[in-house]
Amino acid sequence: MKILVLNGPNLGRLGTRQTDVYGLTTYDELVQICTEVEPEADVRQTDDEATMIGWLHEAADTGTPVVLNAGAWTHYSYAVRDAAALAPAVIEVHLSQIAAREEFRHHSVVSAVTRGTITGLGVEGYRAAIRALQLH
């Protein structure tokens, strides 16, 4: 089943970035984990907001469900939210427990247009999100 797994800014640095918060799994390992759960998962990362919005438009045009970790855009990008609202089904994932971190991370402007949100379970959250999309 085709699923887009879309990762926003700084997530390409997984494995070396704030490992106490995000864990030791590298971005390449994350890609492998996702494709183990769903061989047709198309896992991407960008630091460019316009690219992310283009990918969400692609999901809308092709009817492809999305696992979305929008990184810091989660907390302020109405443009990413509006694009996510067009996709057929979006599950929002955060590696860290954003509710237990700095105040600015407590609110997601994206959540309201998603089917569900998984936070704080590390890479396990991606597995769970992909499985949930496979079931529906």
Stretch that binds ligand DQA, among 24-32, 39-47, 66-74, 82-90 (CB under 6 A): 66-74
Residue 22 designated active-site: yes
Does 122 interact with ligand DQA (rule: CB under 6 A)?
Answer: no
Contacts of 107 (CB under 8 A, 6+ apart): 75
Would residue 57 show up in a list of annotated catalytic residues for this protein? no
Overall size of the chain counted in residues:
136
Chain position whose Cβ is nearest to ligand DQA: 71
Site for ligand DQA in 85-104 (CB under 6 A): 94-96, 98
| Residue 43 binds ligand DQA (CB under 6 A) | no
Nearest distance from C-beta of residue 103 to ligand DQA, angstroms: 11
Residues 6+ apart with CB under 8 A from 61: none
- Contact pick of 105, 111, 123, 128 for ligand DQA (by CB under 6 A): 105
Binding of residue 71 to ligand DQA (CB under 6 A): yes
| Smallest separation (angstroms) from ligand DQA to the CB of 119 | 7
Q: CA angle at residue 20 from 80 to 5, to 5 degrees? A: 30
**Catalytic: which of 57, 75, 94, 136?**
94
Sheet with strand 116-119: strands edge to edge: 41-45, 3-7, 66-69, 90-94, 116-119
- Structural contact between residues 47 and 12, judged by C-beta atoms closer than 8 angstroms: yes
